[in-house]
Structure 1
Amino acid sequence: MFDDRTDAGERLAAELERRDLDIDVVLGIPRGALPVARPVADALAADLDVVVARKLGAPGNPELALGAVASDGSVWYNDDLITRIDVSEKYLEEVRAEEADNAREKAARYRETEGLPELEGKRVAVVDDGVATGATATACLRQVQESGAEWVGLAVPVGSPRAIDELERETDEVIAVQTPADFRAVGQYYRNFGQVTDEEAIAYLDRDG
């Protein structure tokens, strides 16, 4: 159990240090990952920035992830779910286009440009506050993988064992402090898991170590 996202970030940073990983850039997934990513970046003396993706919600159930799209258009689809609930190609294209626009707009709120910082030849850790389905993390990882980074890892305080296993195929290494067998939701592993506003998240980016 983590006290809050900052506590989770400090414990995640300790795990990364224990593994002696050399990280140049930490990318938090807004909004909730920024309080986690800040102590990670500070501990590793790495630059902190963001990578943005938006969930593709199912018809009538926007919290059910059909996939996710990153700000550069990188997309991941949950093909099994799409087939099971019989989602049309027309709906998928409409929601993909809408959420890609939203992702670009969100990225622009966090930095002057919509794209990623320069990552060519760098070692990059993508950080989130936890992984349930892995949809947004997958889209973010695919965007970072296309950036020319030398090494790309995913670091989270807690995650579903199934999602973590699937994400290992998307990246060089997945680091998770906890992968409980009875995982149900990220928030159950935090005593304080309140919403993070864009303004609060941006403040973590602006703060110098």
Structure 2
Amino acid sequence: MHFKDRTQAGQLLAQRLRPYARRPDAVVLALPRGGVPVAYEVARALELPLDLCLVRKLGVPGHCELAMGAIAPGGVKTVDWDLVRSLNISDEAIARVEAREQRELQRRERLYRGDRPGLNLGDRTVILIDDGIATGSTLRAAIGAIREQQPRAIVVAVPVAPPQTCTDLQQDVDRVLCLLCPQHLYSISAWYEDFSQTSDEEVCQLLAKANKLGIKT
């Protein structure tokens, strides 16, 4: 099975998340940028508020697609120290990557949110969505940031992820929902016919569409 695109993946996830439809305590959070088209379809179908969970991956120097950790607002940071030690990555190199990603995190927060505060997640059921999971480091940073607000429950919902990653995440959240769990992931893009990059403009457009539909963001 392959997904046509992120829109179809979100529609299929929404079918599995029907029990959360119109629940007054539930909210949908998307990891930008790729998770936003997926999460928009879920929020639209379930008539739930949509917001963003801003997180940045810390890529290995020279191999930026390989995550050595991630950061989120509020000083949340995760680091894969086993990977860092195995690749002999210095503290100075980590600091340089973190500073760069911190600037990008702040840029996106200004662009996507402006002066609008994020949703209050206290005592709420948070459905956290991305377009797929590889190592899970970015998602763990997001979970750490969400935990700071003391939600009632965290549900991770993704179209595709390796089975071991899903098993590991179940220790950190209340539920993990994954449509496809291939033993050999290779890459998230391999499971989509269209995995073109989601732009900043598309993120802003989808948040605006959610507002027009009456889905509070």
TM-score (norm 2): 0.89
Instruction: Note if contact 1:30-1:50 (Cα within 8 Å) is conserved in structure 2.
Output: yes
SS of residue paired to 1:132: coil
Q: Distance in 2 between matches of 1:115 and 1:84?
A: 40
Greater Cα offset, 59-68 or 111-120: 111-120
Give the 5 Å matches for 1:164-183: 164-183=166-185
Question: 1:8 maps to what in 2?
Answer: 9
Q: CA deviation at 1:179?
A: 0.7
**Structure 1: segments with no counterpart, 5+ residues:** none
Deviations 1:101-157 (A, max 9, x none): 321221221112486321111111110000111121111111011112111111101
Instruction: Note if contact 1:51-1:107 (Cα within 8 Å) is conserved in structure 2.
Output: no
The residue identity in structure 1 corresponding to 2:13 is L
Does residue 43 of structure 2 align to residue 41 of structure 1?
yes
Q: Distance in 2 between matches of 1:160 and 1:114?
A: 35
Q: Distance in 1 between matches of 2:159 and 2:202?
A: 20
The residue identity in structure 2 corresponding to 1:12 is L
Instruction: Note if contact 1:29-1:51 (Cα within 8 Å) is conserved in structure 2.
Output: yes
Q: Which of the residues 183, 187, 190 maps onto 1:188?
A: 190
Question: 1:107 maps to what in 2?
Answer: 109
Q: CA deviation at 1:77?
A: 0.8
- The 1:2–1:109 alpha-carbon spacing in structure 2 relative to 1, beyond 3 Å, is same
**Structure 2: segments with no counterpart, 5+ residues:** none
Instruction: Note if contact 2:124-2:152 (Cα within 8 Å) is conserved in structure 1.
Output: yes
Give the 5 Å matches for 1:65-144: 65-113=67-115, 116-144=118-146
Greater Cα offset, 103-112 or 30-39: 103-112
SS of residue paired to 1:141: helix
Q: Distance in 1 between matches of 2:31 and 2:167?
A: 20
The residue identity in structure 1 corresponding to 2:78 is W
Instruction: Note if contact 1:156-1:177 (Cα within 8 Å) is conserved in structure 2.
Output: yes
TM-score (norm 1): 0.92
The residue identity in structure 1 corresponding to 2:49 is D
Greater Cα offset, 112-121 or 158-167: 112-121
Q: Distance in 1 between matches of 2:32 and 2:165?
A: 19
Instruction: Note if contact 1:107-1:113 (Cα within 8 Å) is conserved in structure 2.
Output: no
Instruction: Note if contact 2:61-2:97 (Cα within 8 Å) is conserved in structure 1.
Output: no
Instruction: Note if contact 2:71-2:102 (Cα within 8 Å) is conserved in structure 1.
Output: yes
Q: Distance in 2 between matches of 1:59 and 1:31?
A: 22
Q: Identity over aligned residues, as a percent?
A: 35
Q: How many residues align?
A: 207
Give the RMSD, CA atoms, in angstroms: 1.6
Name segments (4+ residues, structure 1) moved above 4 Å.
none
